[in-house]
Amino acid sequence: MPIATLASDTSTHLLKSPNGIAPGKRPEIPAATLRAWLSQMSLIREFEVRCMQAYQDKKIGGFCHVYIGQEAVAVGCVAALEPRDPLVTAYRDHGHALARGMHPKHCMAEMFGKIGGCAKGKGGSMHMFDKANNLFGGHGIVGAQCPLGAGLAFATKYQDEVINSGKSDCVTLCFLGDGALNQGALHEAMNLAGLLDLPVIYVVENNGYSMGTAIERGTTMAHKITSKAVGYGIEGLEVNGMDVVDVYVAMKDLIDRCRATSRPAFVDMRTYRYKGHSMSDPRKYRGREEEERYEVEDPIGKLEKLVKDKNYATPAEIEAIYDGVKTLVRESIAWADASPVPSLDELYHDVYVEKWGPYTGTSLPQMLTEKP
């Protein structure tokens, strides 16, 4: 049963907090959990800021899409998942990788093109993979991850029910941007998911923009994108993505339901990115005052306020969290700097599993083979 949605604040496309849950019915999140979420979100924030700096210092090349402003989505969703549940996303993937548990040094090293990166430097910013934490990428082509998400859900269900003769007990989270709503791959995937009862939840990180195109210029029913899921017989949900508690509460309920019923779902996760689409985007398509309107919704600021209001941490403890995060990122950058570039042999490695011709087979990255 979908959570009833409140009308959006007309000055932004965001949803009001607490997102339709009646006051008093909002579950209490333990202090330690909120502090942990604050630490994770500020880690993602600091990491992404330093990524921007590193990109401008030419240490990161190619494309770089930062997650600044959307931290609550990754952290809240991952908190609602079990470790065994697969997660797949598009190219704005650093936040998901860190939230799932990748050490920032491997994430940064990957972007620096070093052997210590999660993909040995051969993937780059858009291809964060982490087998130990069930993170299946990191994909560059818009929408391509959507059939993959359906496939992951198919696979967990097949393993649970066909191979192990049990009951499907996994849910796959497949993240996409509002731009991907227009790709055929998503629609084919939703059709297949609805038809085959695949336990995959498509979480649209709806930040209102597809690069430079505002959503209403590219998508029909832009004001109510859940209608697209309804067309496939799939349950749709609208969630306030700027409040990590709202995200967690809504997603936990949905994930539990999908796990039990082995049915797909679709989430319109309203959020906002404070920076451009990528590093070369000057954001001319929106004004300064729009951005200022959204700055007050900063999810980290909101959580910090909540933690302070509930006395779950003193200002000094909060400062210590932030300092700890800054130190961790600084050390990760130093580690990534020191990691060597891949040797030229890596060119012909990991192309095929089999060794043949000039190809030298495959092996796991340092991230998975070294002791933490």
Distance between CA atoms of residues 159 and 162, nearest Å:
6
Site for other proteins in 281-310 (CB under 8 A): 282, 284
What mask, x for binding other proteins by CB under 8 A, covers residues 145 to 184? Answer: -xxxxxxx-xxx-xx-xxx--------------------x
Residue 292 carries which side chain, given as an amino acid letter?
E
User: Least distance in Å: CB of 189 to other proteins?
Assistant: 5
Q: Which of 185, 234, 300, 333 binds other proteins (CB under 8 A)?
A: 185
Residues 20-59 that bind other proteins (CB under 8 A): 49-50, 52-53, 55-58
Q: Does 196 bind other proteins (CB under 8 A)?
A: yes
Query: And the tokens for 112?
Result: 């620096």
365 is a site residue for other proteins (CB under 8 A): yes
Query: Exactly one of 2, 160, 351, 360 binds other proteins (CB under 8 A); which one?
Result: 351
Candidate residues 119, 176, 258, 336; the one interacting with other proteins per rule CB under 8 A: 119
- When binding is defined by CB under 8 A, the residue of 61, 83, 287, 301 that contacts other proteins is 61
Exactly one of 9, 160, 188, 253 binds other proteins (CB under 8 A); that residue is 188
Q: How far apart are CA 81 and CA 161, in angstroms?
A: 20
Six token digits for residue 23? 């006051």
User: Which residue, 69 or 76, has its beta carbon nearer to other proteins?
Assistant: 69
- The residue within the footprint of other proteins, chosen from 36, 103, 350, 360 (CB under 8 A), is 350
Q: Is 211 in the site for other proteins (CB under 8 A)?
A: no
Alpha-carbon gap, residue 371 to 351, rounded angstroms: 26
Q: By the 8 A CB rule, do 197 and 156 touch? A: no
Quick check: helix, strand or coil at residue 359?
A: strand
* Helical ranges in 57-129 per DSSP H: 71-80, 94-100, 104-111
Record the tokens describing residue 331, joined without a space.
């050390």
> b/e for 259-293, b at 16 or more Cβ within 10 A?
beebbbbbbbbbbbbbbbbbbeeebeeeeeeeeee
User: Is 191 a residue that touches other proteins (CB under 8 A)?
Assistant: yes
Q: Which of 144, 254, 267, 336 is close enough to bind other proteins by CB under 8 A?
A: 144
- Binding to other proteins, residues 219-238 (CB under 8 A): none
Residue 100: other Cβ atoms inside 10 A: 21
d(CA 111, CA 127): 9
Identify the residue whose tokens are 């548990």. 101
Closer by beta carbon to other proteins, 110 or else 246: 110
Stretch 262-281 residues interacting with other proteins (CB under 8 A):
279-280
